[in-house]
Structure 1
Amino acid sequence: MQLSSLFASPVLLLQLCIDSLRFMFASFFSKLYYSTVYSETISSVAPAASKVHQEKDRNVMTPTSVNYHFTRKCNYKCGFCFHTAKTSFVLPLDEAKRGLKLLKESGMEKINFSGGEPFLHDRGEFLGELVQYCKQDLQLPSVSIVSNGSTIKEEWFQKYGDDLDILAISCDSFDESTNQLIGRTQGGKSHIDNLHKIRSWCQQYKVAFKINSVINTFNMYEDMTENILQLNPVRWKVFQCLLIDGENAGEKALREAERFVISEQLFQEFLERHSSVPCLVPESNEKMRNSYLILDEYMRFLDCREGRKDPSKSILDVGVKKAICFSGFDENMFLKRGGKYVWSKADMKLEW
């Protein structure tokens, strides 16, 4: 068609204008539609993705209460010990403090120092430095120790007692001959006399006193009610003897604890016999195996679910969040067994 004939026909000219306008509007609304759909899709996906990340963060375990076995060395030879002297390694003080700071930054509220025997290394000064650092520098609500009590001196309380919330002394029997059979003894010293001496120091220096007992074939029929009531600890932890391959059972173990193990029924009978003791806190093997966060001397979390101690990588190398994923820790069981309690001596309202 020639240009002259196009201009000569008003109808064709009008049709051309209408078609052009249609194309422009169609293009505009198409872009607007897809832009709106894309925005709505992104806005719906973003909260979902955010929710997934939040859920993932919630699933990261918090090291609320940690047991740091910084040494394996011990002067006792308890036949059922499940953290034996397989090495003599102890971290340098600065490295130990660095690890404790990482734990605090990840949510730790309570630290418990154990061993081996924690008062052996550097005659208790290393332990005292860690206690002081955790309370004064890290401002932890609770700092505690588990010890056999054999090497504790009053001078230690004078220097570090203010910064210690709880001192737990292991005592499996109030019969000296039974302690001898178990291996909780050294030379001619009386473990029971020492227990009472430390109890009086705790009272004098305002440290909450606790007793830990492992129930086994040598003490399962003993009635400790009168002695426990007399000592009046804030807690009396009663454990069922536990086998750990490579520690107190198996070919590579330094102990042979099979002869100490009792059945669940006998453990329950012991608990029933002591049910009148108000401070009794029972812990069966089921509760104990995966409800504790245990750090070894290299600051590796130990997974005990398979009946042995499988170490994670050290928190000093990979951080707390990565290491704790391999700990086997069951937070629900930790709470179920009463792992979180009034653990700061400032909140216990004790009569000193």
Structure 2
Amino acid sequence: MNFHFIKNCNYGCRYCYATFSETSGALVLPDDQLFGLVRLLARTYTKVTLAGGEPTLYRRLPELLAAIKEEGALTNLVTNGSRITPEWIEQHAHVLDFLTLSIDSADPATHRRLGRATRSGETLPGQHYIDLADAARAAGVVVKVNTVVTTVNARESIWGFILLLNPQRWKILQAAPVAGQNDEYIGALTPPRADFDTYVQRHQQELACSGIRVVVEPIEQIRGSYIMVDPQGRFFDSTAGTHSYSRPILQVGLDVAFAEVDFDADLFLARGGDADWRNGQAPDRPRPHASPVLAGVQE
């Protein structure tokens, strides 16, 4: 499951579907509530992915990762990479199972056009991402990369850069419009399905013998296939093209809150959402479901 626990971000990606700009709540829950909720989620799901916003902006992130590990779940950190170093990864590898780097291009100019940059336009050099990936692997942390395909980068070929990063898994996502989140730019950024498919095919051909698992997620496979919690501690989904929120989990309980959003378990499994468990990388914990990743999901 994905816990978008922090609202603020130091980047301004124009396609971002998780700005939560339509909500008036705090940037992050108070510490006692945040840690209580993350422990509950870690007792329920075999892997907790911390996302944002930008999770490395939270001062107690290592403690939050440790709390998840203490409850027996896997940890995954999704980050733009701007606030961590190889030394940070080495220091905190004992509480980090997966590091997912959000990278849309090998060209800093493309990142700047997409808003994957600071307000002053500062972007990260490609070598920084490579250094992070190398450090993670050396420390026993599994490396993943997420790339969002837009009209800006759809004609690029970054397979050579992906080979240098050498992630275990590269996820290619089609930029998706979500009303209330990315209305200003997404109309011009969403690529036609044919362009998305061409991008995927071009890279799959080049990476066919690399050992890198390429995961492809067009819009229709994204919506409804993720278990997500927002910075206010509510389940949410974007099945209808806009965010729909449950009541706060800590107020009504996990099962009641989860029943208030849409989730398609079949679609989740079809896109490989339980791959880490199937590959033997998730803890062997007793679960009432065929996939322990789906523990807590009502049949």
Q: TM-score, normalised by structure 1?
A: 0.73
* Residue aligning to 1:328: 262
1:99 pairs with 37, 49, 74, which one?
37
Aligned residues of 2:7 and 2:52 also touching (Cα < 8 A): yes
5 Å matches for 1:195-344?
195-249=129-183, 255-276=184-205, 277=207, 278-342=212-276
Partner AA of 2:19 in structure 1: T
Q: Which stretch of structure 1 is more off in the superposition, 273-282 or 308-317?
A: 273-282
Q: Which residue of 2 aligns with 1:41?
A: none
Provide the residue aligned with 1:119 in structure 2: 56
Closer, same or farther: CA 345–208 of 1 in aligned 2, 3 Å: farther
Tell me how far apart the structure 1 counterparts of residues 223 and 155 of structure 2 sit (CA, whole Å): 24
Per-residue deviation, residues 240-294 of structure 1 (Å, max 9, x unmatched)? 0000100101xxxxx4221101111111111111123242110011110100011
Unaligned residue ranges in structure 2 (runs of 5+): 283-299
Q: 1:138 aligns with which of 68, 71, 84?
A: 71
The match for 1:168 is 100
Distance in 1 of aligned mates of 2:131 and 2:8: 23
Residues 14-45 of structure 1: CA distance to partner in whole angstroms, max 9, x if unpaired?
xxxxxxxxxxxxxxxxxxxxxxxxxxxxxxxx
Structure 1: how far apart are the matches of 2:94 and 2:280?
Answer: 11
1:147 matched to 2:82: no
From 52, 69, 79, the counterpart of 2:4: 69
Residue 183 (1) aligns with residue 125 (2): no
Contact 2:17-2:176 within 8 A present in 1 as well: yes
1:210/1:235 contact within 8 Å kept: yes
Judged with a 3 Å threshold, the aligned counterparts in structure 2 of structure 1 residues 182 and 343 are, in CA distance, closer, same or farther, namely farther
After TM superposition, what 4+ stretches of structure 1 lie above 6 angstroms from structure 2?
none
Q: Which amino acid aligns with 1:337?
A: R
Alpha-carbon contact 2:16-2:181 (below 8 Å) kept: yes
Matched to 2:12, the amino acid is: K
Which residue of structure 2 lines up, in the alignment, with residue 24 of structure 1? none
CA gap 1:225/1:95 in 2 versus in 1, 3 angstroms: same
How far 1:160 sits from its partner (Å)?
Answer: 2.1
Query: Are 1:84 and 2:22 an aligned pair?
Result: no
Over the aligned positions, Cα root-mean-square deviation in angstroms equals: 1.9
Aligned partner letter, 2:28: V
Q: CA deviation at 1:345?
A: 9.7
Higher RCO, 1 vs 2 (CA within 8 Å, ≥6 residues apart): 2
Q: In structure 2, do the counterparts of structure 1 residues 104 and 227 end up closer, same or farther at CA, with 3 Å as the change threshold?
A: closer
CA distance in 2, matches of 1:346, 1:273: 30
For the residues of structure 1 that align with 2:100 and 2:173, how far apart are their CA atoms?
13
Structure 1 portions without partners, runs of 5+: 1-65, 250-254
Q: Whose helix proportion is higher, 1 or 2?
A: 1
Which of residues 103, 123, 128 is equivalent to 1:194? 128
Contact 1:238 1:281 in 2 (8 A): yes
Letter in structure 2 aligned against 1:115:
G
After superposition, the Cα gap between the structure-2 partners of 1:289 and 1:346, relative to the gap in structure 1 and judged at 3 Å, is: closer
Tell me, yes or no, if the aligned pair for 1:165 and 1:343 is still in contact at 8 Å: no
Distance 1:85 1:154, change over 3 A: farther
1:139 shift after superposition: 1.0
Instruction: Using the TM superposition, give the Cα deviation of residue 85 of structure 1 relative to its aligned residue in structure 2, in angstroms.
Output: 5.8
Q: Say if 1:74 and 1:85, in contact at 8 Å, map to a contact too.
A: no
Paired with 2:144 and 2:217, the residues of 1 have a C-alpha distance of 15
Give the letter for the 1:79 counterpart.
Answer: R
Q: Which of these two proteins has the greater Rg computed from alpha carbons?
A: 1
**Does structure 2 retain, via aligned residues, the 8 Å contact 1:172–1:214?**
yes
Deviation of 1:67 (Å) = 0.4
Alpha-carbon contact 2:106-2:158 (below 8 Å) kept = yes
SS of the residue corresponding to residue 155 of structure 2 reads coil
Query: Secondary structure at 2:128's aligned position in 1?
Result: helix
Q: Which amino acid aligns with 1:266?
A: D
